Amino acid sequence: MSDLITNAFNEIDPRNERFIEKNTDIVEEIYALMEQHGVKSQKELAKLLGKKESEVSKLLTGIQNMTLRSITNLEVALGTDIILTASKAKVRFEHTNYMICYKQIQTSSHSEKTSTNEHFQIGKVSSFKLKIA
- pLDDT tens sequence across 31-75: 999 999 999 999 999 999 999 999 999 999 988 889 999 999 999
Query: Confidence band (pLDDT; 50, 70, 90) for 99?
Result: low
> What domains are defined for the chain?
2-85 (1.10.260.40), 99-132 (no CATH)
Q: Is the Cβ–Cβ distance between 50 and 68 less than 8 Å? A: no
DSSP code per residue over 46-98: HHHHTS-HHHHHHHHHTSS---HHHHHHHHHHHTS-SS--HHHHHHHHTTPPP
Q: Which amino acid is at 27?
A: V
Q: Is the Cβ–Cβ distance between 42 and 57 less than 8 Å? A: yes
pTM > 0.75: yes or no: no
DSSP state of 14: H
